[in-house]
Structure formats: structure tokens, C-alpha cells
Structure 1
Amino acid sequence: MFKFCLLLSVALMFQAGRACDGNNEAEQLAAARQESDEYFASAYGFDSAPWGSSDYQPSARVQGYVNPYEGRSPQNRVQANYNPFKKYFSKYIALIHQSYINTKLIQHFVLDIANENDQPEGRFALGGLGANIINTGLFNNRFTPANTWRPFSSLSNRIPVTVNPNFNNPLSNFDACTSPSGDSGICAPGSVCSLFGGRPSGSCVLGKVCCINAITTCGGTVTLNNTYWQSSSTPVSAPSTCALTVRLDTKLVEQLAKPICQIRLDFVSFTTQQPTGGTCTDSFIVGGSTNVVPIICGDNSGQHMYIDVSSSALTPTDVQLMFNFAAGTATRTWNIKIAMLPCGASYLAPPGCLQYFTASSGRVRSFNWQDVAPTANPRQLNNQNYNICFRTELVTGQRATQMCLTPCTVTPGAVPFALTAVATAAASAVVGTVADTCYYDFLAIVGGTNLATAATADRFCGNALNPTPAGTNVEVCTRVRPFRITYVTDGTEALIPAVVAPPVVSAVADVSNVGFCLDYLER
């Protein structure tokens, strides 16, 4: 009996313990669910309750939550704490998480369409397609002469960069830059510079490089600003021709934002055969301009030209630069910087000005003038007729009121000013005054005055800059604004005899004419 009671007591205690264990299990399960809720809120940004609900809607994000579908990274991801009960609820986690993903993806799809321009990161799924096509077309429009197959050239002209507003177009503006060596270039990404065949030298803002572009062949086409046309290292064979085309067209991506109205040529170096009797045998010719550009030759390093063209916003323009080399063994080398000047720029030259100076002082020379002793073969070039203009600068806080010109200081034996010699007295009598003898070759300075004597003339020629014939070099000033001088020569250096009917002013044969070199100063 005692044994039976003992066994019964043990059985009852065992059942009571199981009942307590059941209560503890329910409490543990409830605690686990509570911890799981906190885990969901911390790790995923939403509450998991009500469990198993098919109408579940995610709650608002918790503070500090970073959407994992907006570029979430290990640095900004909120780390989840370890939860020992996660294995019990993995099924529910997967279902609820998938529902959350679908909801967020739909939200992001709508937001991407409505607010595409407001997204901080670039999306290249569809926008990049247009950008890539543009780039393909662009690089098929580069100036490499051998690149004649351009399958996407017209396509790129029809697809604006704004197809992808998030695309940072590397060619939206090719700002000018200067390399540490002093060469001019354009700011562009390194990859773009390489594709154009350029040479990086120095850096620009936004990680771009100063790209120096050079072409050393004949027959090519230039479309980029600040391109250097350089002679080949191989000696030029003569007779021969070497030409280059400068294409101005706003349909080209590299010129899309800036219609061009002028081209400036800077002759970094320029050496060809000397003229014969003032007439060029080697010749440099410019075609396609709206202003008259004279033929030049000889030594012109340091000179420049402004070429007027019709606005490329109205019509595409091709400007031709051409060297014609005559027979001979003279050295021919050149390095010409081609700058494209946009319409409306403040630094455009005034219309009709072949040369334009924008400092209050400087030096101006005729083409082929050099600081060397004159020879029997004149350096002065025939058939010159162009304007040289000077911007009116501020002097001591006020606009300059006069400009003064003085012959350059030269080495012994050299001549700073020598145009057609003064005609004979008999010849001058045909016209009536000696001043009219500067008829064929002259430098026009309207209102030119010798301040020391008050002598005035509009044309200057002979062997000295002086309003008085046969005088010595003096300083000549003019108050006529805008400041401008005009250089004119005829087509011969030979004797011009006098003819009475119709009256022709005679002129002696030109000997050792060199042109002019003048220092100018605005006051």
C-alpha cells in the first residue's frame, strides 16, 4: 500500500511539473514573439504583426533606417542583433519580407518616373544608351583624317544629351586651358582626350585634364577648339600642297553649345620661302572667310589673324587653310594654333579687323618683318590690304584718349620702318602735293600727328615714320577712335612711271623695303 501511494505521488508531481512547463513554454513563445517584433523593426524597418495576415501593410520606416534598395552599403546598413528564435519564424520572415520588397519596388518605380532629375545617382540603364550612342557618333566625328567611316554621325546629331538628364556630358563645354608648358588646350576627361588623339598636360577642375590637341598631317579636318596644326617631322617636299579644313557646325557635339563666328590663328612658328620681288612663291592662303585675308609667306612666328565667318548657328562653314610650296630647298615649318571664338564673346575682333590687340601697350609688325639687316630682295609683301585694330583700354582708371606709335628699337643694321620710297618731285607735281606721294605702299594712321611739331598726315611711307617727307623716325599719335591702322601695298616693287592721262603718280623702284615694326601705347 505504501509503495502504491509513493508511486501515485510521484505521478501527480510529474503531471504538475508538465503543466508548469506548458505555461512556461507559452510565456517563452510570447516573449520570443515580442523580441521578434523588435528584431523586425530594427533589421527591416517594419513591425511583423499581425502574424500571418494576408492584408499586411508595412509601417513607416523607423528612425535612422536606410533603404537597402537605394545604394545600401556595409557602412550605412543597420546591423541586426542575433535572435535565437529567428529559425522558428523564417517562413513568416520570407513572406513578409517579399511583400515589403514588392511594395518598395513599385514605390521606387513610380518615384523614378516622376522625379528622375532629383535622383542623386546616375542611372545608365536607358539614359546611358542615348549617351553611348552620342559618344559613338561624336568619336566618329573627330578630326582624325583616316577616320572616314562614320556610321553614327547623323544619328548623334539627332539625339540631344538631354535624353539622359543625369548624364554628365564631358563635352558640354570644352573650356580653354593652358598647360604647364604654356600650350593651349581644352578641358576634357582623360578618356575623351585619348579618343581624340590628344595629349594630357596639366589638370582642370572636376578631374578633367588639359588636353593638348595636335594634327601633323595634310588633308585633315579640325572640329575642336585650340587645335595645333603642326608641320611633320619629315621635310616638306616641293613643289607640293598641304591643306587643312576647319569645320564649323553646331550639329557637331563638340560645338553644340557654342556657335562660332570667328577663328583666330596664332602662328606659334611659321617659316617658309622668302618672297621674290615682294611676291610670295611659297604661299599661305585662307579660304571660306567673309573678310579678305591676304596671302602671306616668309617668317611670321608670333603673328596672328582673325578670320570672320558666318555664324555656324545659321549655316555650317568650312574654312580652308592651305600652304602652296614652290620648288626650292628652303626650310618650311609651322605650328598654328586654331582657336574657335563663339558668337557674342567679348573678345571677338571688330568686323573687318585682320589683327586685334587688346592691351594698352605692345608691338605690331607687318607680315614677314624681321629684326635683320635688309637685303636687295625686299621682305615687304605685295598685295597687302588689311586693318589692324586696337581695343580702347583703361589708363589710370579712364578710357584712353589717344594712341601713339613709335618705331621699334632694333639691332644695328636692321630697319624698323621702310615702305615705298618717296616719289620724285616731278612725279609729285602731277598730283600737287608731296603728301600724296604715299600712293601705292603706305601705312594709314588717320589723324597721325607729330606732337613735337604738330605736323599731321593720314598716310606714311618712305624710310621713316614721320608726317614730313624725308624726315627721321618720330612718335606719331592719333586721337581718332576706335584706334585702327591700315596697311596697304600694291602688286609690284618695280618702277612706276608717271602717266599724264589718266594721271598716275610715279614711284621709284622699291629697294630693301621691309615693312614696319611699331611699338604702340595708349594714353
Structure 2
Amino acid sequence: MWTSKLTLILVWALIVILNNFVSAANETSQSAREGKILSLFSIVQFRNSPCRSTSILTKGNGGNRNGTCFTTAECSERGGFASGTCASGFGVCCLFLVDTSGGSTNTNCSYIRNPGFPSAVADETAVTYTISKCSCNVCYLRLDFECFTILGAGQTDELDMGGDCTDQFTIGTVTNDNLPVICGQNTGQHMYVDMGTGCGNVVALNFAFNGASNERLWEIKATQIPCGSDYTPPDGCLQYHTELDGRFTTFNFLPTNDNHLAQQQYSICIRQEEGFCCIQYMVCNDVAETGMTLNTKAMEIPMMGFTDTYCSMDYVGIAGSGGVCNTAPGGALVSRYCGTKLNFVDMSKEHAPICDCTAPFAVEIRTDGISDVVGDTANTAKSRGICLEYTQIPC
């Protein structure tokens, strides 16, 4: 009897020992599997680099919005939303949208939109936004106007107000740069804004309205640029073009029934590419009749182009330019152009190519706030501004 009980006790003890061994083995195996899984995900890392989302721009120039590559959790924590994948599927292309007045963002590549976008602003209340640095190493902000329509000057000539804005878009910075006040239609335009070197520096975007309108609509992409990067614009450049060829216009050139803007003083700069020594400028072929219309009352002679001393009110400045693309140009050079024809010869009646071989390359835009009138004669000609195409010329 005692032998039977002892045998049962020994069998029971052996079963307990075996169960504990199996459990320990299972736990070790599970820990190993979890360790492998954790190890796998711990080595999957990716940079928060730019990415192209699946979100399509509903207004303006079309195309897809740009985002930043984050994990799903990071995107949500930062207030963005996922739109497509990145990093071989381990990340999401995170979009950041600000569409409320008083809204703010400290994330690179954010989209600033009007309240109610893609519908137009329905009231006349001023709208403001604040952009903070995403890193202390940021020095510049690039604003791309994916779509931009507010009330413009409301006239086709400089007879009365001289191009004063009805609505106004202004930018506030701690650097106190003299950034132009703009209005009207500016889809496709861009600006570079100096944010300064302070970590806490911010930029304020301000819209002020004057009168009723059902067409106010905007979406502005705000991209932050690190200090010292190779795509930082030169000092004093409001706009910066980095291609071998392209085109640019003054603000509010798009509508055919409105004026160029008053009191504009800024530089459009072009990066010189290696092996290219000159830049040739021509009036845009598709708008040849109005593509050069600044100070159209110069010398009281219509439909002519003028240079230098005749251009003291509204003009395009291309210092050291002439009619020949040559690294050692001869003859007199020209620095200012105005009237209705772009030409290096005064009182010209035809457009002609202008060449600048004196780097760095910049085009100065200068307009005043005075009505374009000579003597007692009012100017009723259209003054849309400029539209120029540029091409870099090899050395």
C-alpha cells in the first residue's frame, strides 16, 4: 500500500517537473520570437524626408501635395494625416494643413489654406496665420502660391490709384525686411522670407479684406529651408529661379483686366549654372502686347520702349545689360527699362532680346504709388506689368 502511494507521489512530481520545463521552454521560445520581432523593427529606421502624397491639389496648378515621411503614430501625434506611404511602406506620407484663422504650424512643408477651402471665403473678416521654425537650423521660408486670388487693384490703368491694393496680403517677420504688399491673382508665384537666426522666430501671414467678394481663395505651401543649404537664396532675393530657362511675371499679372501693383520694390534672382555666363531675357511671346507695360506714359509717346534716365517711376532693372550676349560686351550698357517695348534702344517700337553677362543675375522690380500721368494728360493705357522669359547662355 505504501509502495503504491510512493509510486503515485513520484509520478505526480515528475509530471510537475515536466510541465515546468515545458512552460519555461515555451516562454524562452516566445521571448526569442518577440526579441526577433523587436530586433526587426528596431533596425527599420528612415529619415523624415519629403514625400509625394496621394492628395491632389484641387485648385491652381494641379498635381499632388507634398508631405513628410513619418510613422503612423508620429503623423497623428503631430496633427497631420496620412496620405500614401513612404520608406518602402514602413512610413506614411504625412500632410499638414492649416485652414483656420489664428492657426499655427511648426512643421516643415505645411499648407496654409483659407477657411472653408476649397470653397471661397464667405465673409470679410481678416485672416492670420503663424509659422514657427521646425528646427533652430532653419533660416528661410519659401512660400509657394498653389492658388491665390483676392481682390486686386480693380482697374486697368494708372489713372487714379496707381495700382493700390483693395485687399492686402502682408508678411510679418522679426527681420523687418521690406516685403511687398500684394493682392489680386498670384497663382504660381513664390516668395522667400528671411526667418532670421533665432530659434523662436516666427513669420505671420496676414490677409486684410476691403469689400465684398465671393472669389477669395488661397492655398500656400510653406517650406522651411536650413541655414547654409545649397538652395538658400542670395541675400535680398524675394524670388529665386534655379533652372536653365523659365519665365516670371510681376505680381497680379494673370488677370487681363487689372493693373500692376503699386509700391513694389524687390529682386528676382537667377542662379548661374556652371558653364553659363549670360542670361537672355525676352518678353513672353504669348502676351507680347502687354508683357512689357510699365510707365506706359513715358515721354508722352505711346507704344514705345525707353531706358535708363527716362525710367524713374515704374521700371525693370537689369544692371549692365545690352543687346549682345558676350562676356566682354562693347558699347553702352543699360540698367533700366520701361514703356511698352523691351529694347536696349530708346524710343524703340519693337521688342528685342536683352542680355546680361554681369553675374550675379538679378532683375529689379520697381513701381511707385503715383498715378501714371504726365502733365495734364491722364494715362488710359493698360499697365499690367511684365512677363519675361529667360534663358541661360553658355560661355
Q: Is the 8 A contact 2:307 2:345 kept in 1?
A: no
> Which residue matches 2:5?
none
Unaligned runs of 5+ in 2: 1-17, 57-63, 155-160
Partner of 2:253: 369
User: What's the offset of the Cα at 1:192?
Assistant: 2.4
Structure with bigger helix share is 1
TM-superposed CA distance for 1:515, in Å, is 0.6
Q: Following the alignment from structure 1 to structure 2, what is the Cα–Cα distance between the partners of residues 342 and 466?
A: 40
Cα deviations by residue, 1:73-97 (Å, 9 ceiling, x for unpaired): 4999xxxxxxxxxxxxxxxxxxxxx
Give the Cα–Cα distance (whole angstroms) in 1 for the partners of residues 366 and 223 of structure 2. Answer: 27
CA contact (8 A) 2:98 2:104 kept: no
- What one-letter code is carried by the residue in structure 2 that aligns with 1:285? T
The structural deviation recorded for 1:179 is 2.1
User: Partner of 1:468 in structure 2?
Assistant: 345
Task: Compute the displacement of 1:230 (Å).
Answer: 1.2
Letter in 2 for 1:309: M
For 1:294, give the aligned amino acid.
P
Report the counterpart of residue 62 of structure 1 in structure 2: none
More displaced, 193-202 or 477-486? 193-202
Residue of structure 1 in register with 2:178 after alignment: 292
Bigger shift: 213-222 or 188-197? 188-197
Question: Structure 1 stretches (4+) deviating beyond 6 angstroms?
Answer: 166-170, 452-455
Cα–Cα, structure 1 residues 187 and 73, in superposed 2: closer, same or farther, change >3 Å? closer
Kept after mapping to 1: 8 A contact 2:189/2:251: yes
Tell me, in whole angstroms, the C-alpha distance in 2 between the residues paired with 1:367 and 1:74: 60
Unmatched runs of 5 consecutive residues or more in structure 1: 1-39, 45-64, 77-119, 124-165, 249-254, 427-432, 499-506
Native 8 Å contact 1:493 1:510 kept in 2? no
Please give the per-residue CA displacement for 1:188-247, whole angstroms capped at 9, x wherever unaligned. Answer: 112222344423222211611111211211111111111101122454245320000011
Matches within 5 A, 1:38-187: 68=28, 71-73=31-33, 121=39, 174-180=48-54, 181=56, 182-187=64-69
Q: CA shift at 1:497, angstroms?
A: 4.8
Alignment TM-score, normalising by the size of structure 1? 0.60
Aligned equivalents of 2:389 and 2:137: distance in 1?
35
How does 1:283-322 map onto structure 2 within 5 Å? 283-290=168-175, 291-313=177-199, 316-322=200-206
Aligned match of 1:55: none
Count of residue pairs brought into register by the alignment: 345
Q: Contact 1:422 / 1:438 at 8 angstroms: preserved in 2?
A: no
Query: CA shift at 1:288, angstroms?
Result: 1.1
Question: Counterparts in 2 of 1:226-305, with a 5 A limit?
Answer: 226-231=109-114, 232-233=116-117, 235-248=120-133, 255-256=134-135, 259-276=137-154, 277=161, 278-290=163-175, 291-305=177-191
- Report the structure number with the largest CA radius of gyration: 1
- For 2:184 and 2:357, the matched residues in 1 are separated by 34
SS in 2 for 1:352: coil
1:201 aligned partner: 83
Which residue matches 2:314?
Answer: 441
Find 1:415's aligned residue among 276, 290, 298. Answer: 290
CA contact (8 A) 1:434 1:469 kept: yes
Identity, in percent, stands at 29
| Distance verdict in 2 for CA 1:508–1:75, change over 3 Å | closer
Q: 2:271 is matched with which residue?
A: 391
Shift of 1:168: 8.8
- 1:416, 1:405 → 2: CA distance? 12
Q: TM-score, normalised by structure 2?
A: 0.78
SS of the aligned residue for 1:328 comes to coil
Instruction: Pick closer, same or farther for the CA change 1:121–1:488 going to 2, 3 Å.
Output: same
1:212 aligns to 2:95 (yes or no)? yes
Q: 1:475 Cα shift?
A: 0.6
